[in-house]
Every structure is written in C-alpha cells, then in structure tokens.
C-alpha cells in the first residue's frame, strides 16, 4: 500500500520554531489575530507576519471561507526554508479543519513540516486532511527513493489527542485509492482477491468463491460478464463481526470490473484507459472494511465484491444472449457494456440469501449517464428506504462527500417497464432515457421484499481528472468516510 505521511502530535513548544528544519506553519485568524506561536514567529522575523496581516492583500485576498496558506520564503531569524501562514478561524468545522490540513499538504512537498496548532479544536481532522491530500500513487514510478519529510503537530493538549481513528480512516481511503489507481494488468481479479485476503491480519474473515463455486450457486449473470476473459471471475466475502452475536449485518456490495472494454459491445478507444477504475465500487467496499476493522467498529458488517473482467473474445457473452441469474430470473443481454448490473444482481441476491442483512448498500461505477446528470461533485443515490437513505445522506454531508438522491420507481412503474424483454424476464438495458435510473431499476428487481437498500452510482466521483479538496488527481476514495460514519451512526452498539 502507498505510504501514509508520517505524522505525530507533540506538546506545544514555541522555542522549536526558530530551529525547525523544512517548513513551519503557524495559524492566524481571517481578521488577523495571532496566537502565541504566530507572535513568536513574528518576533523572530522582525515583524514580517504583522506586516503581512496589515497588508491590503491579506484583507482582500481570497474568497471568504476558503482556506488559504500564505508562504513566506526563507524567513529571517528562522532555520526553516519557509513559514506557512495558515488563515483559519479559531473554531472550525470538521470539514474546514480537514481542508486546512490539505492546504498545508499541498505546499509541503517533500519537506519536514512543523505545524504550530496551538489549542485548535479539530487538530485530528487537520491531521487527516493533511495525510489524505499528501497521498501519492508512485507504485509505477521509476525514481530514486526520495525521503518524504514527516509532520509534527504541536498542540497545547497533545496528550489528549490520538491518531488511531485518523489512521484507520486514512488507511481505508488510501487502500481504496490504490486499488482504483492500479492498472488492470497489475490489478487482475486474482491480485485483487489476494489483497483482500491479506486483510485477514486485521481480524476480518475473508472467503474467496471461485468460478466452480459461483457456477454451483447459479451466478450465471455474473459469470457471463467474465467469460470472455482469461482472468477468472471471483466473489470475495469479507466479514467483520464487531457487533453482538446474531445481529443481522449491514451488507456492502461492490462492482469490481477490473477492466471494462464493453465486451462485444466494444467501447470506442478514446478514454477506454479510464476503465481501469471500473472496480471502484469494490474498492470502496474494501477500504471501508479496512477502516472498520482497524478502528474495531462495534458492528456486524459484511462486504462482498464481484470481481470480473469484461473482455471481447470468442467465449464472450454476445448481445442477444439470454442468461439466468441466481435469483432465477432470466436476462436478455442486449448490450454487453451494461455489465455492472449483471455482476451486482447476483452478488446482491447471494448476500441476501446467505446473510439476511439488516440493510444493503451497493456501490458501482455503473453508468456514464450519472456523470451527465451530476458531474463529478455528487454520487447518485437511489433507495427504497427513506430512513436508511436520509441517514446516508446525512453521513455523506458530514464527511464532505457529495451525494444526491435520484428517483426510483416501484416494480411495474414506467421506469421499470423500460426493462421489458420480448423473450426473457427482462433485458439489461432500458435505452438512452434515464440511463442511471433504469440501471437502478434493474437492481431493484433483485432486492427482496422489505430489504432496506441503497444503490450508489459512483461513476462520476470514484476517480477524477482534477484534484479535489482532499485528493490529488485520480482516485478519490469517495464513500469510505461516509460509510464509516453511517456504520457509527446507525449500526454500532454502545
């Protein structure tokens, strides 16, 4: 896994400012108030900080509410090569504190960093934001090992602060990002499963179902997606039993298409390379399970991922083929590029039959249409249960992960009717109109009566071309923090 920035808390010592190597960060308020450490830095620099605060640029600089860092290079009177002035209110929200940490990560580079955080209220969140924004995926860069400098955060109540939860969350997010960033020749279905099995060391129980077993179970819709590829299809089950014995678990289900060529309904070449991220749903399930295990969540949660590769070949499923799902319903595969739902429906059915979960949430980079509708700011949220859905939206909002509810019809609704097939129980594609909704509608047909369920279409948010508040370009890890919080809010005991 990619390395997390080494970070630690230490008790405040303003004498460290003068001699610290690398960079030193101090905090001032937007109305220009200095704390003790800022005043010391000001004295060392013979009033440079005060002159900055009094300048026109400081007062009128940036849109209010946005975190900013003003760098003063080679400050006189200090050993450091830069003094980073972080502009931040004394009381901040969780999200503001994380974004402040991220702002420091952006200017930090490879240098060691001393953050003089004073008594700030959300220093742990600042640390989390810093680690998440300092992420780099360098597994395939041929470069000499550069030493990345560590971060020390000085705080007046350092002994009351802990990085355990921060590390559990960061580790989960970073695992998801690594999986999503990994190219498909490296992250094959087998490699993916192996990485999940490794998580047994964290106390998770992990099972791998191979093709023979999936065939026995009747998961033909899942298997038909992978049958054109030399990589064997697999379903991996990760169990975390931190809750009471016998408590029905929450089930998390992920689409894990390690590469989506479209199959015989081949995608056009432009942008096809992005389809290495088509296992993003499975990546989020894996990262969330990691976080839950690392922080010892007092809840029962089971994560299931369907790992397949969608390739054209003489063995591949053809447009027009009819296959039978584990549930027993038949599906006419009118487009082999609408493969995600074929994978998910069997895994969802299996999860319900085996675990009788209290609720079920699936995540998938399912449709390009959700990007047309919501862009890269929000995942599409579809649900048959207002209570679970509202709880999720609240958790996502608290974590700063965009999520927007979309409509869903019942069985027999006009949306559902779009899936009617002439020769089978349904077809796997509704047509151009309401593409994301009909995909969700397809999945709804595999949700058992009374099962609270959320479908998250993360095609727009799993990996993006530009940087986001807490991530550099590429995989974001969207969803790990929201799901972790949902588990804490709704499924954890005591």
Alpha-carbon span 92 to 39, nearest angstrom: 21
Alpha-carbon span 238 to 161, nearest angstrom: 31
- The answer to the question of residue 84 lying near Mn ion (CB under 5 A) is no
- The answer to the question of residue 260 lying near Mn ion (CB under 5 A) is yes
Q: Which residue of 38, 168, 302, 338 would you call a contact of ligand BES, by CB under 6 A?
A: 338
Beta carbon of residue 340, minimum distance to ligand BES (angstroms, whole number): 5
- The answer to the question of residue 378 lying near ligand BES (CB under 6 A) is no
Task: Specify whether the CB–CB gap between 470 and 133 falls below 8 A.
Answer: yes
73 φ, ψ to 5°? Answer: -80, 145
- The answer to the question of residue 337 lying near Mn ion (CB under 5 A) is yes
Alpha-carbon span 6 to 353, nearest angstrom: 43
Sole window of 86-94, 123-131, 169-177, 367-375 interacting with ligand BES (rule: CB under 6 A): 367-375
- The answer to the question of residue 41 lying near ligand BES (CB under 6 A) is no
For the record, the structure tokens of 3 come out as 């390395």
- The answer to the question of residue 134 lying near Zn ion (CB under 5 A) is no
**Residue bearing tokens 């952006």:** 106
- Selecting among 106, 267, 298, 405, the annotated active-site residue is 267
- The answer to the question of residue 362 lying near Zn ion (CB under 5 A) is no
Task: Specify whether the CB–CB gap between 254 and 290 falls below 8 A.
Answer: no
Beta carbon of residue 271, minimum distance to Mn ion (angstroms, whole number): 12
Measured CA distances, 47 to 50, 51, 80, 113 (Å) = 5, 6, 17, 22
Chain centre distance of CA 379: 11
Instruction: Say how many residues touch Zn ion, by CB under 5 A.
Output: 4
Cβ atoms within 10 Å, residue 402: 18
For the record, the structure tokens of 296 come out as 């010892």
- 305-344 positions binding Zn ion, by CB under 5 A: 340
82 binds, among Mn ion, ligand BES, Zn ion, none (CB under 5 to 8 A by kind): none
Q: Is 493 a catalytic site residue?
A: no
Q: What is the CA radius of gyration of the chain?
A: 25
Beta carbon of residue 275, minimum distance to Mn ion (angstroms, whole number): 8
- The answer to the question of residue 312 lying near ligand BES (CB under 6 A) is no
Q: Which is nearer to ligand BES, 355 or 446 (CB)?
A: 446
Alpha-carbon span 467 to 447, nearest angstrom: 36
- Selecting among 122, 327, 341, 485, the annotated active-site residue is 341
- 139-168 positions binding ligand BES, by CB under 6 A: none
Beta carbon of residue 492, minimum distance to ligand BES (angstroms, whole number): 32
Query: By rule CB under 6 A, what string of x and - marks binding of each residue 426-455 to ligand BES?
Result: ---x-----x--------------------
- The answer to the question of residue 487 lying near ligand BES (CB under 6 A) is no
Beta carbon of residue 101, minimum distance to ligand BES (angstroms, whole number): 29
Beta carbon of residue 365, minimum distance to Mn ion (angstroms, whole number): 9
Query: By rule CB under 5 A, what string of x and - marks binding of each residue 266-295 to Zn ion?
Result: ------------x-----------------
Q: Which is nearer to ligand BES, 270 or 423 (CB)?
A: 270
For the record, the structure tokens of 212 come out as 């023979």
- The answer to the question of residue 256 lying near Zn ion (CB under 5 A) is no
Task: Specify whether the CB–CB gap between 436 and 367 falls below 8 A.
Answer: yes
Measure the N-to-C terminal CA separation of the chain; round to a whole number of Å.
Answer: 32
Dihedral angle at the C-alpha atoms of 347, 350, 355, 360, nearest 10 degrees? Answer: 40
Measured CA distances, 198 to 102, 194, 231, 289, 481 (Å) = 30, 6, 20, 12, 22
Q: Which residue of 35, 124, 260, 399 would you call a contact of Zn ion, by CB under 5 A?
A: 260
Q: Which residue of 148, 151, 369, 393 would you call a contact of ligand BES, by CB under 6 A?
A: 369
- 241-300 positions binding ligand BES, by CB under 6 A: 260, 278
Sole window of 32-40, 260-268, 436-444, 458-466 interacting with Zn ion (rule: CB under 5 A): 260-268
Cβ atoms within 10 Å, residue 262: 18
Beta carbon of residue 286, minimum distance to ligand BES (angstroms, whole number): 18
- The answer to the question of residue 309 lying near Mn ion (CB under 5 A) is no
Query: By rule CB under 5 A, what string of x and - marks binding of each residue 438-477 to Zn ion?
Result: ----------------------------------------
Sole window of 56-64, 68-76, 178-186, 333-341 interacting with ligand BES (rule: CB under 6 A): 333-341
- The answer to the question of residue 457 lying near Mn ion (CB under 5 A) is no
Q: Is 341 a catalytic site residue?
A: yes
Q: Which is nearer to ligand BES, 269 or 328 (CB)?
A: 269
- 177-206 positions binding ligand BES, by CB under 6 A: none
Q: Which residues bind ligand BES (CB under 6 A)?
A: 260, 278, 335, 337-340, 365-369, 429, 435, 459
Q: Which residues bind Zn ion (CB under 5 A)?
A: 257, 260, 278, 340
């Amino acid at each position: 896994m990619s390395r997390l920035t080494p970070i630690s808390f230490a008790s405040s010592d303003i004498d460290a400012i003068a001699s610290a190597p690398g960079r030193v960060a101090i905090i001032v308020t937007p109305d220009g108030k200095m704390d003790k450490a800022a005043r010391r830095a000001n004295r060392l620099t013979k009033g440079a900080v005060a002159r900055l605060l009094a300048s026109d640029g400081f007062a009128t600089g940036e849109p209010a509410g946005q975190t900013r860092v003003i760098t003063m290079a080679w400050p006189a009177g200090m050993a450091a090569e830069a003094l980073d002035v972080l502009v931040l209110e004394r009381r901040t929200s969780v999200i503001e504190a994380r974004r402040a940490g991220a702002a420091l990560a952006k200017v930090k580079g490879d240098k060691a960093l001393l953050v003089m955080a004073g008594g700030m209220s959300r220093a742990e969140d600042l640390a989390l934001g810093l680690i998440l924004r300092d992420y780099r995926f360098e597994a395939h860069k041929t470069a000499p090992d550069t030493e990345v400098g560590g971060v020390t955060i000085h705080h007046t109540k350092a002994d009351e602060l802990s990085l355990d939860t921060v590390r559990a969350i960061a580790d989960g997010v970073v695992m998801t990002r690594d999986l999503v960033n990994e190219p498909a020749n490296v992250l094959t279905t087998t490699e993916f499963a192996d990485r999940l099995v490794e998580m047994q060391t964290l106390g998770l129980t992990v099972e791998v179902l191979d093709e023979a077993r999936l065939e026995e179970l009747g998961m033909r819709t899942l298997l038909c997606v992978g049958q054109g590829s030399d990589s064997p299809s697999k379903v991996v089950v990760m169990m975390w039993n931190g809750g009471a014995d016998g408590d029905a678990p929450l089930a998390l289900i992920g689409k894990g298409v390690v590469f989506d060529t479209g199959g015989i309904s081949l995608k056009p070449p432009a942008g096809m390379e992005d389809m290495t991220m088509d296992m993003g749903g499975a990546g989020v399930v894996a990262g969330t399970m990691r976080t839950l295990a690392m922080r010892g969540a007092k809840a029962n949660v089971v994560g299931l991922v369907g790992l397949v590769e969608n390739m054209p070949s003489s063995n591949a499923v053809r447009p027009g083929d009819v296959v039978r799902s584990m549930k027993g319903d038949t599906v006419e595969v009118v487009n082999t590029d609408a493969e995600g739902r074929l994978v998910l429906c069997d895994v969802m059915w299996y999860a319900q039959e085996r675990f009788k979960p209290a609720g079920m949430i699936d995540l998938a980079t399912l449709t390009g249409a959700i990007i047309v509708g919501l862009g890269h700011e929000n995942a599409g949220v579809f649900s048959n249960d207002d209570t679970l859905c509202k709880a999720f939206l609240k958790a996502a909002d608290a974590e700063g992960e965009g999520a927007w509810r979309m409509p869903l019809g019942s069985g027999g609704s006009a949306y559902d009717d779009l899936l009617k097939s002439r020769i089978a129980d349904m077809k796997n594609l509704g047509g151009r109109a309401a593409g994301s909704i009909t995909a969700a509608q397809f999945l709804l047909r595999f949700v058992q009566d009374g099962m609270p369920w959320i479908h998250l279409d993360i095609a727009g948010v799993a990996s993006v071309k530009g940087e986001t508040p807490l991530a550099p370009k590429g995989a974001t890890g969207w969803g790990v923090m929201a799901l972790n919080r949902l588990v804490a809010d709704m499924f954890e005991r005591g």
